[in-house]
Amino acid sequence: MKIIIQRVNFAKIFVNNEFKGKIQKGIVAYVGVANGDCEKDIDFCIDKLINIRIFDDENGKLNLSVKDIKGELLIVSNFTIYGNTKKGRRPSYTDSARASEAQKIYNLFLQKLKNTDIKFETGKFGQYMKIVSENDGPVNLILSSDL
């Protein structure tokens, strides 16, 4: 599992051109599911996502997590994260989990995220989405359960 995270001041998501949700200060997280991902990958990534220190403390140091600042999350499924661009000009997505398996893992990810005290919004798996956000910093990182 890989998650691209972006620190944002706000974000909105539209699914099939219809408004779906918005967040204030927090993280936009683009979640990619790989072949073989399991519950262990989910647990690792959720722990990292809510506890990674990418927000400024009172001294301007990156010492606070989204949990610490009572921030919000926008979770977006994104199979293209596992696109392989090593050969040719068209990405290969063979490392991405099949849609049916990826959706199961993604839904379990969301279910487990509900067990945290972090407010979050989501898009809709496998649908066309538009995300409008204001990046802050910018701070962008890739979280990966591939150890």
CB atoms within 10 A of CB 40: 11
Q: What is the pLDDT of residue 146?
A: 85
φ and ψ of 15, to 5 deg: -115, 125
- Can you give the pTM of this predicted structure? 0.96
pLDDT-derived band of residue 115, with 50, 70 and 90 as boundaries? Answer: very high
Domain range spanning residue 80?
2-144
How many folded domains does the chain comprise?
A: 1
CATH number reported for the structural domain that contains residue 97 in this entry: 3.50.80.10
pLDDT in tens, 43-102: 999 999 999 999 999 999 999 999 999 999 999 999 999 999 999 999 999 999 999 999
Ramachandran assignment for 77, one of left (phi > 0), alpha (psi -120 to 50 degrees), beta (any other): beta
φ and ψ of 144, to 5 deg: -140, 135
The CA–CA distances, whole Å, from 118 to 47, 63, 85, 92 equal 12, 18, 34, 34
pLDDT in tens, 127-138: 999 999 999 999
Supply the residues annotated as catalytic. Answer: 80
Q: What is the mean pLDDT of the chain?
A: 97
